[in-house]
Amino acid sequence: MTVKHKPLVIVTRKLPDLIETRMMELFDVRLNLDDHEFSRQEMAEAMQEADVLVPTVTDRLDAGVLSQAGPQLRLIANYGAGVDHIDLATARARGITVTNTPGVLTEDTADLTLALMLAVPRKLIAGEKLLHDGEWTGWSPTGLVGHRIWGKRLGIVGMGRIGTAVARRAKAFGLSIHYHNRHREHESLEQELEATYWESLDQMLARMDIISVNCPHTPATFHLLSARRLKLLRREAYVINTSRGEVIDENALIRMLEAGEIAGAGLDVFENEPAINPKLLQLENVVALPHMGSATIEARIDMGEKVLINIKTYADGHKPPDRVLEDWI
């Protein structure tokens, strides 16, 4: 559908100044200058007016909200790669195209994944806290003894862009790469990474030293690491999650961490964020971060550029390049 006028674009959160300025030049834009989170009423009102909505991961666009969209709303240009906060089936039924920002978050999220992979086994946060609290009394042969990651087996759940980037980094750190995916990767990639493919997720989980969750949250991956599957992990294993909290049964994970049934966890995402189960913050074998996997200025600008391209392509009467397709549902 060709839009004859500048489309009204409503942005739900504060974006980098560079992106907002470019948006103002190209479109009729309503910005969220104080960066408050939209209420359901505000979201419904925005969808009744906008030609294009630019939401973020914190905006829950369920069937109830989408049902209030005006007939002119034809594009939801999501600022982010994940779209599990959008009811895609309802959007499609109402003729609304959904786009995202794939690819631009890959390297930053992979960096953070490796940071957690080092921080948890090597007790980096506990060491920093000891210094910060003024309790360090000097070097000791048995002080803050952790585990090396060199030579360990890494099991990657989801070998997409981010999973592959994690594997490349991990290989350089001397880890043996294993992965489970919906589809087996090309032989050339397996050879490059010296990676072992596991068709059975259960079998892979039972044999790994570190598990890295890098798959998106979809109905098919909700609690993919269920209580039953978490029980398969070795007592010495670590779990790293920089994907989505809903992929892991968080309550089951907490119970196992409390009981010492797994060695530790590094988490950048949580099942009910921004609410965090306080038990997680009390565990010494957990490193928890506030969903900052893509939090670099470079990534935030690149995300905005993707949004601009998707809206401009739509406004010019063409199909946006980053349409979210059927396999997300």
> What is the rounded CA–CA span in Å between residue 309 and residue 306?
5
The two three-digit tokens of residue 230, written as one number: 């978490």
Active-site amino acid positions: 244, 273, 291
Token pair recorded at residue 294: 């893509």
Residue by residue, DSSP assigns 11-72 as ESS---HHHHHHHHHHSEEE--TT-PPPPHHHHHHHHHH-SEEE--TT--B-HHHHTT--TT
Q: Which domains does the chain have, with CATH numbers?
A: 8-102+296-328 (3.40.50.720), 106-288 (3.40.50.720)
Count of helices and strands (H, E) across the chain: 13, 12
- Helices 297-315 + 17-26 axis angle, to 10: 10
Q: pLDDT of the chain along its 329 residues, tens only?
A: 444 579 999 999 999 999 999 999 999 999 999 999 999 999 999 999 999 999 999 999 999 999 999 999 999 999 999 999 999 999 999 999 999 999 999 999 999 999 999 999 999 999 999 999 999 999 999 999 999 999 999 999 999 999 999 999 999 999 999 999 999 999 999 999 999 999 999 999 999 999 999 999 999 999 999 999 999 999 999 999 999 999 999 999 999 999 999 999 999 999 999 999 999 999 999 999 999 999 999 999 999 999 999 999 999 999 999 999 855 44
